[in-house]
Amino acid sequence: MSALTHHDITLLLLGLAILLAAARILAELAQRWHQPAVIGELLAGIILGPTILGALWPSVQQVLFPDTGPINTALHALTTVAITLFMMVAGMEIDISSVWKQGRAALIVGVLGIVIPFAVGFVPAWFAPSALGAKPDSDPLVFALFLATAMAITALPVIAKILMDLNLFRSELGVTIIAAAILNDLFGWIIFALVLAVMGSSAADMPVWQTACLTLLFALFMLTLGRWALNRVLPWIQAHSSWPGGVLGFALACALLCAAFTEFIGVHAIFGAFLFGVALGDSQHLRQRTRATIDHFVSFIFAPLFFASIGLHVNFIRSFDLTLVLIVVALASLGKIVGCTLAAHWAGFPRKEAQAIGFGMNARGAMEIILGLLALQAGIIGDRLFVALVIMALVTSLTSGLFIQRTFRGKRAVRFIDYVSAKTFMPELQARTKQDAIKALGTLAAQSAGIDAEDAVSAVWRREQIVTSAMGNGVAVPHARIAGLKLPIVALGFPSSGVDFDPPDDVPVSVIVLILTPSDANELHLSLLADIARVFQNERMARRLGEGARNLTELRAELNVETSSRLHA
Amino acid sequence: MSALTHHDITLLLLGLAILLAAARILAELAQRWHQPAVIGELLAGIILGPTILGALWPSVQQVLFPDTGPINTALHALTTVAITLFMMVAGMEIDISSVWKQGRAALIVGVLGIVIPFAVGFVPAWFAPSALGAKPDSDPLVFALFLATAMAITALPVIAKILMDLNLFRSELGVTIIAAAILNDLFGWIIFALVLAVMGSSAADMPVWQTACLTLLFALFMLTLGRWALNRVLPWIQAHSSWPGGVLGFALACALLCAAFTEFIGVHAIFGAFLFGVALGDSQHLRQRTRATIDHFVSFIFAPLFFASIGLHVNFIRSFDLTLVLIVVALASLGKIVGCTLAAHWAGFPRKEAQAIGFGMNARGAMEIILGLLALQAGIIGDRLFVALVIMALVTSLTSGLFIQRTFRGKRAVRFIDYVSAKTFMPELQARTKQDAIKALGTLAAQSAGIDAEDAVSAVWRREQIVTSAMGNGVAVPHARIAGLKLPIVALGFPSSGVDFDPPDDVPVSVIVLILTPSDANELHLSLLADIARVFQNERMARRLGEGARNLTELRAELNVETSSRLHA
């Protein structure tokens, strides 16, 4: 009954552990440099695959990640399940109703943002397929349709992440970009499913028209009746089953079932999981906690394994073709940026913002890579074009972040913790009065900035005497502007016994954040205060920090967790 | 590069969907009847395996879950990863420090609770191996050691669930049982790992003593240095990586790595994952949310897939041997119940409680099944003994729940929602005064019970005039004892505008729970009030119910989620 031997299991588990660890570590590094995690995950696979490990140490590479045999079958099965669930989560992020809310602007950008790059991709692919890396034996229409779709698709998660990093996610610009990208994704995948239907009907033993009809019917069903039925059945499941086991099991079993169905009719499994995710994610009965559990496990475990596994089978150096890469990047960027900028301008956005929308929609990321991989597996394209598409996906993701950042002059979110150092953090502040506390923290801050301590302390104290700096929720924020200071300095102290700052809500002050800012940095000063108000928006946070954080690492950990869980839940 | 064909992928996804859905549905049904989920999960596999589906419709069974070929390899790989992660979660529930806290009693019960059943298993297995279903070619010492361990092991999660269901989890009795079971589990698995080492050293190309030494060293390392190091490294990871991606990725990669290591040295992969889980779970830096994310995904997705897959390969009818089943059940129960009862009595528990501990420790559940499966795969035992062990695991789990329940006269947790019906629920209660509200709800309750409405209303009103029934947090609980009533009746109303119940905390009453209880059901009456106080222990709940629950299904869903998330987080 054992299909895998003792030896196979050892190597499979070891391979998975190495793949997951490498993918997560490189993803964290990518995010540290404000790049999408998928870049790091791909790189992990390229390092562990034939491109690098295979070139340096081929025997080890083939033992861990062989090209044939039971371990290869096992990895293929695991990554297939992983990408299926990843696409379900990607679908869950598609909120159809938000498209209607954004109305005309999103519609124009969404539709023209597909049509123009589609045309820009289709024409050259139709007239000069070989220059674009088509296989000699591939059907020219299928190839042209595929390349056109590949040019037209957009990476919703990458765009969302860029907008979030730049604090633009909730702005009108941000919401329009997101709504347009949602529309774009939905159309793009349905078109691609039809391309796959044309390709895959032979494997499914069905005539093309039947596969295509079933695909459209399934999509239509999922977006209408399926959505409605899911919304009705979720409360019933939550009432009559254990939580969250009932919903989790139901969601995953249905996703796998839909995936099996679309695989059966000849389009790829991921298409069924994606559409199921769209229908499920729209239900207002799906709880944030359930959503977060699925999302966390899939995004941080399954997605890294899948994207890393891509590099295991393709040699990115041998299949690298500079001309092809340049052509693909140019065609993709041209169609998307020009198309979306024009559309946004037409929809009424000023020039600068229209350009930002154009560049924002140009990000491809993970979706392009998945599309390319499916085409590679289906035999529509070869390794060279696949590598070019992957590089195009990375380049467009990188450049759209950089461009939007430059256009909006790097309005990166300000965090007070970034200005706290180990030297300016006093977990056990010995101070009985307001004046003592300000003196202790002000001296620390001034010393760390290399400015006169007495001046700084008296400036803060003068400010404090005008009106209390206690904000409520257990926090006080004594502060002053200091002429000649280069960068803001934040000192943080947790008084060991209550200090009377006369707070508006009578909650005892357990966290004191002392801020010194350059006298000309007005906006930065306000952003710091706003960040502190956001972090301490309830009493709990001050109490938790005062009790839990004994050094800078623990402090960062507490703040990091609190911020992330707010983003997700 | 495709190890699985289009056809394979369709069937694999379909098979997984069916397996997961069947396992989850039957697990829910098992829990509805207050049985461990694992019973339902196993049953799903028995239905979909050769025992039932294979007997009725062999071709379908072999297409979905074949015994050879790539789909079988894929399923084997997936279930291996599933059981590895399940054992990590099982390890995370082992809290070593709690054993020390319980001190002598837990130690005596824990140690004697292994030694006596171990001896009761070892002696007959050594002297009459063939009567106990040993394979003719198996090493008699290995077989006797295995059977002794199988008799000595206990199922921590099953016991914890039984105690929770009976509201005994936090009692002294409950905590002692749990601490003893933890000790028992830890010893049991280390002994079994040594048995596997004796067996597996040949596969690992190592002498026995080397495998055994490495196993003990690894266990020792994980329980001391490894534990300490994990506790130091977790805050660093949480501070310097995205949350919860950093911790999740780290935990799973390490678990897989430890699993690969123990598989490599010749004991089974799950042993490494289990010990890593013990070390990880002990860290106070592992957040409840991270724990819950891992726990939910593994317990509700991976565990059902694994336990259901067991039934796919064994024919439970053909390999059923009544004599062997009876001998195994008798030996197992005798050793464990007698051993633990004596030990508990010796440790100072009164006779009734000592018996309850004995029966509680007798539950085997999932752990026994995993142990049996490993022995089956390692060739120590055959199908007949495996089936007997599985049945023994189920029988002991069932009987220990029933016995403890009878001993403590079914003190099942009382829930007020169980006494609310669609007829006694008024999501939009039109009442402006306290009197109106009591009249409306009292009439509903009396009609549903078939008693005189005016009597009931005036009894509640008399009681209300003595002192307000408002409990604070937005809830009022008008109530009365009614002579001649058979069962309690609870009516629930959400007043559409504020009703003045003069609550102690001035939070407006948005939930009114009217209770009529039989005049002789004093304890039940108090339990109902206690349950209401527990559910509404903060303001949020009353507000959420008043806003969110428009019918009984939504009401149950809200209460269910709230209760479950409190258990987990």
Q: Residue A511 is part of which domain span?
A: 416-568
Q: Do B77 and A78 touch (CB under 8 A)?
A: yes
**According to the per-residue pLDDT averaged within each range, which of A50-64, A452-466, A502-516, B410-424 is highest?**
A50-64
- Top pLDDT among A417 and A492 is at A492
Say if strands B489-495 and B511-518 run parallel, antiparallel, or are unpaired: antiparallel
Higher-pLDDT residue of B247 and B533 is B247
Residue A359 within a domain? yes
Taking the C-alpha atoms of residue B36 and residue B52, their distance in angstroms, rounded to an integer, is: 22
pLDDT tens digit string along A291-343? 888 888 888 899 899 999 988 988 999 999 999 999 999 999 999 899 888 88
Kindly report, residue by residue over B431-484, the tens digit of the pLDDT.
878 888 899 899 888 888 888 888 889 989 888 888 888 888 888 889 888 888
Evaluate if residue B2 carries a pLDDT over 60. Answer: no
Judge whether B453 and B446 are in contact, CB under 8 Å: yes
Q: Does residue A415 sit at the B interface (CB-CB below 8 Å)?
A: no
pLDDT of residue A81: 94
CB contact under 8 A, A204 and B287: no
At B178 the pLDDT is 78
Span A512-528, average pLDDT: 84
| Structure token pair of residue B441 | 């709800």
What's the mean pLDDT in A130-135? Answer: 82
CB distance B330 to B347 below 8 Å = no
The answer to whether residue B200 neighbours chain A at the CB level (below 8 Å) is yes
Most confident of the ranges A12-26, A186-200, B346-360? A12-26
Of B73, B242, B285, the CB nearest to A31: B242
Query: DSSP labels for B502-550?
Result: --TT-PPB-EEEEEEEETT-HHHHHHHHHHHHHHTSSHHHHHHHHHH--
- By CA distance, what is A7's nearest residue in B? B264
Mark whether A467 and A398 lie in a shared domain.
Answer: no
Let me know whether A435 and A456 are in one domain. Answer: yes
Q: B19-33, B197-211, B310-324 — which is least confidently predicted?
A: B197-211
With vertex at residue B388, the alpha carbon angle to CA B385 and CA B389, rounded to the nearest 5 degrees, is: 90
Q: Is B564 in CB contact (< 8 Å) with chain A?
A: yes
How large is the average pLDDT for residues A344-360? 82
Strands B475-476 and B470-472: antiparallel
- The strand pairing partners of B511, in sequence order, are B475
Q: Is A156 in contact with A38 (CB distance < 8 Å)?
A: no
DSSP H or E run through A515: strand A511-518
Q: For position B191, what pLDDT does the model report?
A: 82
CATH of residue B515: 3.40.930.10
Average per-residue pLDDT in chain A?
83
pLDDT over 60 at B301, yes or no: yes
Nearest-CB residue to A74 (from B73, B204, B377)? B73
User: What's the pLDDT score for residue A208?
Assistant: 77
A400 & A424 share domain: no
Q: Is residue A379 a part of any domain in this protein?
A: yes
- Tell me phi and psi for residue A515, to 5 degrees: -120, 130
- Both A214 and A120 in one domain: the answer is yes
Nearest residue of chain A to residue B263 (CA atoms): A10
> How far B274 CA lies from chain A's nearest CA (Å)?
14
Q: How far apart are CA A371 and CA A378, in angstroms?
A: 11
Chain B residue at shortest CA distance from A293: B293
Band (A514; pLDDT cuts 50, 70, 90): very high
Q: Are residue B84 and residue B57 in the same domain, yes or no?
A: no
Are residue A380 and residue A437 in the same domain, yes or no?
A: no
Q: If 0-12 CB within 10 Å is exposed, 13-18 middle and 19+ buried, where does residue B508 land? A: middle
Tell me the mean pLDDT in the region A364-383.
85
Q: Is A477 on the interface with B (CB under 8 A)?
A: no
Angle formed by the axes of helices B288-297 and B70-92, nearest 10° = 150
User: Quick one: average pLDDT of A524-545?
Assistant: 78
CB contact under 8 A, A73 and B70: yes
Each residue's pLDDT tens digit, B31-41? 888 777 888 89
Q: Tell me which chain B residues have a C-beta less than 8 angstroms from the C-beta of A161.
A: none
Is any Cβ of chain A less than 8 angstroms from the Cβ of B30? no
Residues in chain A with CB shorter than 8 Å from the CB of B300 are 244-245, 248-249
**Residue B138 covered by a domain:** yes
Residue B69 lies in a domain: no
Alpha-carbon gap: B74 to the closest alpha carbon of chain A (Å): 5
Three-state DSSP state, B314? coil
The model's pLDDT over B315-368, given as tens digits with 9 standing for 90+, comes to 999 999 999 999 999 999 999 899 888 888 887 778 877 888 888 888 887 788
Strands A425-429 and B489-495: unpaired
Does A377 reach chain B within 8 Å, measured CB to CB? yes
Mean pLDDT of B66-72: 90
Tell me the pLDDT band of A123, cut-offs 50, 70 and 90: very high
Cβ–Cβ gap A561/B287 under 8 Å: yes
The B residues from 81 to 120 touching A (CB cutoff 8 Å) are 81, 84
- Whether B297 contacts chain A with CB within 8 A: yes
Cβ–Cβ below 8 Å for B14 and A269: no
Same domain, B449 and B551: yes
Mean predicted confidence (pLDDT) in B309-320: 90
pLDDT of residue A185: 77
- B25 torsion bin: left (phi>0), alpha (psi -120 to 50), beta (else): alpha
Tell if the CB–CB gap between B72 and A3 is shorter than 8 Å: yes
**Three-state secondary structure readout of A122-164:** HHHHHHCCHHHCECCCCCHHHHHHHHHHHHHCCCHHHHHHHHH
Note whether B297 contacts A293, CB cutoff 8 Å: yes
Residue B558 has pLDDT above 70, yes or no: yes
- Name the pLDDT band for A16 (thresholds 50, 70, 90): very high
What is the band of A407 on the pLDDT scale with cuts at 50, 70, 90? Answer: confident
- Tell me the pLDDT band of A194, cut-offs 50, 70 and 90: confident
Q: Are residues B397 and B424 in the same domain?
A: no
The pLDDT value recorded for residue B204 is: 64
Contact yes or no for B289 and A239 at CB 8 A: no
Classify residue B70: in a domain, yes or no.
no
A-B interface: how many C-beta pairs under 8 angstroms? 251
- Distance (Å) from the alpha carbon of B202 to chain A's nearest alpha carbon: 11
Cross-chain CB nearest to A77 (options B74, B245, B297): B74
pLDDT of residue B548: 67
pLDDT of residue A343: 86
Task: Report residue B179's pLDDT band, with 50, 70 and 90 as the boundaries.
Answer: confident
Q: What is the pLDDT of residues A248-267, one digit of tens each?
A: 999 999 999 999 998 888 88
**Sign of the CA dihedral with A214 first, then A220, A225, and A230 last:** positive
Q: Considering only residues 390 to 409 of chain A, which have any Cβ-Cβ distance to chain B shorter than 8 Å?
A: none
Of B354, B385, B407, the last residue of a domain is B407
Mean pLDDT for A110-128 is 89
Q: Mean pLDDT across the stretch B393-412?
A: 74
Of B236, B241, B249, the CB nearest to A553: B236
Structure confidence at residue A142 (pLDDT): 85
**Residue B532 distance to chain A (closest CA, Å):** 18
CA distance A74 to chain B (A): 5
B100 and B138 fall within a common domain: yes
Classify the complex by whether its ipTM is higher than 0.85, answering yes or no. Answer: no
Average pLDDT in the A205-219 region? 83
Query: Does A387 touch chain B if contact means CB atoms closer than 8 Å?
Result: no
For residue B414, give the DSSP letter. P
pLDDT band with cut points at 50, 70 and 90 for residue B564: very low
pLDDT of the residue at A561: 61
Confirm whether A59 is domain-assigned.
no
Per-residue model confidence (pLDDT) at position A467: 81
**A223 in contact with B, Cβ within 8 Å:** no
**pLDDT band of B565, cuts 50, 70, 90:** very low
Contact B77 A80 (CB under 8 A): no
CA distance B511 to B529: 14
Q: Is residue B222 part of a domain?
A: yes
Can you tell me which residue has the tokens 């993709």?
A332
| A6 touching B (Cβ < 8 Å) | yes
Strands B479-482 and A511-518: unpaired
- Residue A345 sits in a domain whose CATH number is 1.20.1530.20
Q: Which of A9-23, A116-130, B91-105, B287-301 has the weakest average pLDDT?
A: B91-105
* Confidence band of B64 (pLDDT split at 50, 70, 90): very high
CA B208 – CA B196 distance, rounded (Å) = 10
Q: Which helix (H) or strand (E) holds A482?
A: strand A479-482
Inspect the interface and report whether the beta carbons of A13 and B84 lie closer than 8 Å: yes
Which span out of A47-56, A373-382, B356-365 was modeled with the highest average pLDDT? Answer: A47-56
pLDDT at position B467 is 81
Residues B230 and B101 in one domain: yes
**Helix segments in B49-95, DSSP class H:** 53-56, 58-64, 70-92
Domain boundary (B407, B426, B460) is at B407
Q: CA separation (Å) from B48 to A26, A261, B14, B59?
A: 42, 20, 13, 12
- Put simply, whether B64 touches A (Cβ < 8 Å) is no
Please list, in sequence order, all residues whose beta carbon lies within 8 angstroms of the beta carbon of residue B225, skipping any fewer than 6 positions away.
none
- In the predicted structure, residue B516 carries a pLDDT above the cut 80: yes
The reply to whether A346 and A420 lie within a common domain is no
Q: What is the number of domains present in chain B?
A: 3
Tell me whether residue B1 is in a domain: no
pTM: 0.77
Which residue in chain B has the smallest CA separation from A205? Answer: B7
pLDDT on residue B318: 92
Q: What is the pLDDT of residue A403?
A: 80
Contact B249 A20 (CB under 8 A): yes
Q: Do B388 and B482 fall into the same domain?
A: no
